[in-house]
Chains A and B, each alone.
Chain A
Amino acid sequence: MNKQVAESEKCYHCGTEINGTGYIADEKEFCCIGCKSVYQILSARDMCSYYSYNDSPGQAQLQTAVNLDYLDEPSIVSKLTDYNDEQVSSITFYVPGIQCSSCIWLLEHLHKFNKGVVHSRIDFLKKQVAITFRNQEISLKELVMLMISVGYEPLISLQDVVKEKKDSVNRSLIKRIAVAGFCMGNVMLLSFPEYFGMAEIENQFRILFGWMNLAFAIPVTFYCGREFFQSAWAGLKHKIINLDAPLALIIAVLFLRSAFEIISGSGPGFTDTLTGLVFLLLMGRWVKQRTYSHLSFKRDYRSYFPVAVTLIREKDEVSLALEDLKVGDRILVRNNEIIPADAILMKGDALADFSFVTGEAVPIPKVLGEILYAGGRQLGEAIELEVIKPVSQSYLTSLWNNEAFTRPVKETSNFNDSIARYFGIVTLIIAFTAGTYWAFTGDSVKAWTSFTAVLIVACPCVLSLSTPFTLSGILSIFDKHLFYLKSPNTVEQLAQVNTLVFDKTGTITSPDSAEVNFTGDLSDTDKLLTASLARNSAHPLSQKIIQKIRTGFYLSVLDFKEIPGKGISGIINGNLVKLGSPTDPRRNNSSAGSAASHLEVNGIYKGYFKIGQYWRSGLRSLFDDLAQTNELHVISGDNEADKEKLSMIIPNGSEMHFRQSPLSKLNYVKSLQEKGKNVMMIGDGLNDAGALQQSDLGVAVTDNINTFSPACDAILNGKSTTKIPAFIRLSKDALNTIKASFIISGTYNIIGVYFAVQGLLSPLLAAVLMPLSTISVILFTSAATRYYAAKNHLL
């Protein structure tokens, strides 16, 4: 029964806490109209087992209606679908809302809602659903509307994780690991008799086992180990000795010596070492390839911009794909839509929210004839615009033409590769010295064996294993703290950071969790009236006002009106209540600013609600902590309004810059790099995209991992911003762990080389030494990683 009580306080659909909003259906409480309507749709279809697999499996339904007309346009449909013929179409959607088994169940039963859906299949980790449907019975637009109606809005974009089509698992690598593992197992078994010695009668098997081992070594060398030769050769062509060069040399030497010994019958060869080495190396590769299949680190403005825009022609309106938009086109932008290109306002009142584009926190009103820059979000009524620049040449999007985006890959100073060079040279010197020594003493057999043995035993396989294992261990610790790195190599970049550049809006402030404050005098009656009115609106500000007031019960509203951008009004108990833009426009010019919501009861002005600029908690200690070892900069596209507050939080000596354009942010980071700094840029919006790309480590901060974040090296959840110093410390510790593991493996190498230079290395010793050093190093790195994570309070 306790469970029942607990449930009744939370929304039956999405689990959000109910503040007595009282949306009730079938004795179940819901937090908002959206959740209730999804429930009603499901219960009407007898689909309520959706709720039986998990408690409150849905997502909060706060989004406002979107315009989907463009999904009827055949040219757009053909771009979005994977397959299209006269009867059947198939499409893959990215649905951020997928989070539990109930979601799988519901989306895979879409055919129960509409017979036109043939088949739908979810990939849970990628948050993707592949749907095949009969396009005569259900159109793409109807399909998307169906998904929205059950609470799963797909994120439709022409450039997203779905379109990248990345393989989460590299099939070819897995096959090579399988072959190497198979051969290794067999070679080990066939080598055992040799280790323990064979009786005279068993000697007949010795030759057979040797030849079989050689047969197993051939696919391991030429199929599984191929990539090491290719990579080493590619490096040598550019006159670089990478880590694969000594590995390729060792694989080659192991194979040649084994083949020589087996064919000439002079010994058992080192096939067990060879197969084990290749297997372990491939495992390291596999660990290194780990990525997050549902996150995209490559997005540009195209994922943020709409797929299509509404074009106004002489008589009608049509949807037009964004890339077909031309200069001089007249377009319609509705409430909450994004302005797709730089354009002149031709009709209507524009109130554009540029916070994501320029970092300005407050929406800006624009009048007829003014230029609106691409990327702004229109709040309020629908406006008509005339395009003056192509989409790719706009103020914001031209940022992507900067050379920072055309550079092929960031140059990373890989610690391993720099070690590999010396390692290879030292090994070769020892091998040649040993070989020549024995050659001078006249023992040509020993010269050959010692030369090859040194190369075999000095194997840098630990080098290529300890790094991926340590770094991917760090990656999974970060991931528990909602910090997602693009690849294990990014940890090394993080460790080298000494300068941090912060964006302001959305990065150190967070608009979503802001508090609403009321300025003016609000009586209890007014509170009740306001809450009753706001309850009817799905606007985020209305929801925040209800949370703020919390009256617990509500009055019924007559004649409720919601005018986008203007506000809401209604008659409650005979009182006319208005919430939104003030009737008297002079009030707008007061300290309230344009983002406030003004309250009027029966024409009497009461005051206004305003979302406060919310600073993330723990900023002070975050900055103090970071300033100890790093240089700090704050760079914002916003005005200086917050400068005083900011200078109280940020330590003295840190630089602050305001009114920065996206391009000047990029150039700022560049100028820091030219002074020899390793810059970590922390930003959130499109205006930071250039700086994120230019910096040595670009971190995109977001409060919802599934929403848009610009191209970057890492994605950080806003809640974990305060943990940045711990992340940096842990990454430095990780590099120390790797260095320490080199010492451990070096000890084994010295023991091995001691025997090898004397020409005394037996296959048994080699076969024991190699796995022993590997296992001890992997154990050491995982233990050290856990220790350091605990030390940095990240476990």
Chain B
Amino acid sequence: MNILYLLIGCSILLALGFLAAFFWAVNTGQNDDMETPAMRILFKEDVPEEKEGER
């Protein structure tokens, strides 16, 4: 059962890592705009140039 000491320590360290990642994301403003990036990802990259290639 003594392995539990190690396991609990590891799991808390891991969770702290995620907490730190969340802090970093909030501090760098990644949660400030939740809407626009979701729409932006649907845009095709430079459509007109692709068309020229096809021609």
Q: Which residues of A contact B (CB under 8 A)?
A: 46-47, 49, 52-53, 101, 104-105, 108, 122-126, 167-169, 171, 174-175, 178-179, 182, 185-186, 201-202, 205, 208, 212
A53 close to B23 (CB less than 8 A) = no
Give chain A residues whose Cβ lies under 8 Å from the Cβ of B40: 104, 108
Please list 23 pairs of residues, one from A and one from B, whose beta carbons are closer than 8 Å in the complex, sorted by A's number: A46-B48, A49-B44, A101-B39, A101-B42, A101-B43, A104-B39, A105-B43, A122-B36, A125-B33, A125-B34, A125-B35, A125-B36, A167-B32, A168-B32, A169-B32, A171-B31, A175-B23, A178-B26, A182-B19, A185-B15, A201-B1, A205-B1, A212-B8
A186 close to B36 (CB less than 8 A) = no
Give chain A residues whose Cβ lies under 8 Å from the Cβ of B15: 182, 185-186
CA distance A370 to B51 in the complex (A): 63
The 10 residue pairs across chains A and B that have the minimum distance between CB atoms: A46-B48, A124-B36, A101-B39, A49-B47, A124-B35, A123-B33, A125-B35, A182-B19, A178-B22, A105-B43
CA distance A61 to B18 in the complex (A): 49
Overall SS of chain B's interface: helix
Provided the pairs A124-B33, A174-B26, A202-B1 are in contact, do residues A179 and B19 lie with their beta carbons within 8 angstroms? Answer: yes
Closest chain-A Cβ to B27's Cβ sits at a distance in Å of 7
CA distance A97 to B47 in the complex (A): 24
Provided the pairs A182-B15, A186-B15, A202-B1 are in contact, do residues A47 and B26 lie with their beta carbons within 8 angstroms? Answer: no
Give chain B residues whose Cβ lies under 8 Å from the Cβ of A169: 31-32
Q: Which residues of B contact A (CB under 8 A)?
A: 1, 4-5, 8, 12, 15, 19, 22-23, 26-27, 31-36, 39-40, 42-44, 47-48, 51
Identify 18 new A-B residue pairs, CB closer than 8 A, beyond the known A167-B32, A212-B8. Answer: A46-B51, A49-B47, A49-B48, A104-B43, A105-B43, A122-B36, A123-B33, A124-B33, A124-B39, A125-B34, A171-B26, A178-B19, A178-B23, A185-B15, A186-B12, A186-B15, A205-B4, A212-B12
CA distance A201 to B1 in the complex (A): 9
Give chain A residues whose Cβ lies under 8 Å from the Cβ of B39: 101, 104, 124
CA distance A57 to B44 in the complex (A): 17
A174 close to B19 (CB less than 8 A) = no
Closest chain-A Cβ to B18's Cβ sits at a distance in Å of 8
CA distance A124 to B44 in the complex (A): 18
Give chain B residues whose Cβ lies under 8 Å from the Cβ of A171: 26-27, 31
Give chain B residues whose Cβ lies under 8 Å from the Cβ of A46: 48, 51
CA distance A89 to B34 in the complex (A): 26
Closest chain-A Cβ to B43's Cβ sits at a distance in Å of 5
B36 close to A104 (CB less than 8 A) = yes
Cβ 8 A contact of B48, one of A47, A186, A208: A47
CA distance A171 to B40 in the complex (A): 24
Closest chain-B Cβ to A288's Cβ sits at a distance in Å of 18
Closest to A49 in B: B47
Closest to B16 in A: A182
Most buried by B among A169, A179, A201: A169
CA distance A186 to B5 in the complex (A): 15
Cβ 8 A contact of A175, one of B4, B5, B8, B26: B26
Give chain B residues whose Cβ lies under 8 Å from the Cβ of A174: 26, 31
Give chain B residues whose Cβ lies under 8 Å from the Cβ of A105: 43
Closest to B43 in A: A105
Give chain A residues whose Cβ lies under 8 Å from the Cβ of B51: 46
Give chain B residues whose Cβ lies under 8 Å from the Cβ of A104: 36, 39-40, 43
CA distance A407 to B14 in the complex (A): 51
CA distance A52 to B43 in the complex (A): 10
Closest chain-B Cβ to A369's Cβ sits at a distance in Å of 54
Give chain B residues whose Cβ lies under 8 Å from the Cβ of A125: 33-36
Most buried by B among A47, A52, A174, A201: A174
Give chain B residues whose Cβ lies under 8 Å from the Cβ of A53: 42-43
CA distance A52 to B44 in the complex (A): 11
Closest to A215 in B: B12
Closest to A47 in B: B48
CA distance A178 to B51 in the complex (A): 47
Give chain A residues whose Cβ lies under 8 Å from the Cβ of B36: 104, 122-125
